[in-house]
Amino acid sequence: MPSFDIVSKVPMNEVDNAILQAQKEIGSRFDFKDTGTELEKTDDGMVVRASSEGRVEAGRKVLEEKLIKRGVSVRSLEAEKIEPAGKGTYRQTVKLQQGIVIEKARDIVKFIKDTKLKVQASIQGDQLRVTGKKRDDLQEAIAALKKQDFKIDLQFTNFRE
């Protein structure tokens, strides 16, 4: 029976490259001189630090531009509030969203059922598997999912006959 998987994954090697490029740009740009703006990769995402809230936002925008150039969707980023850090600095944590959370997975399954296509969707951990009898039904489901905005970055993988 034909099937495909719906996943939401971020290519970590591209994220690492984007962080390095953003660090280089921040280090060389005149408007960041003597602001203490720096980027750091952590386990759950990235941290942007600077001497003012405006510089934190500007640093995050540079990071987002580099991520976009590297082909990483900005929808997979979740920026938290800018908070004061020690010694008069500010920081912002930007989390990377890997996988599809259960609430979004339920919304996607409900959407697929509402399309009245002859396919079934099942939640398997942080991804979904869609199966159907005909390949054309699966392709219609992919087209319908691409048109719908679920506020997360979706990839369609593992298409099998």
Distance of CA 43 to the CA centre of its chain: 15
- Taking the model in full, what pTM does it have? 0.81
What's CA 79's distance to the chain center, in Å?
11
Q: Give the integer Cα–Cα distance in Å for 28 and 37.
A: 11
Each residue's pLDDT tens digit, 20-74: 999 999 988 898 888 888 898 988 889 999 988 888 999 999 999 999 999 988 8
Bridge partners, residue 12, by sequence = none
Mind listing the domains of the chain with CATH numbers?
3-8+100-160 (3.30.70.860), 12-96 (3.30.70.990)
Beta carbons of 148 and 3 less than 8 angstroms apart: no
Rounded Cα distance between 158 and 140, Å, is 16
Coil, strand or helix at 141? helix
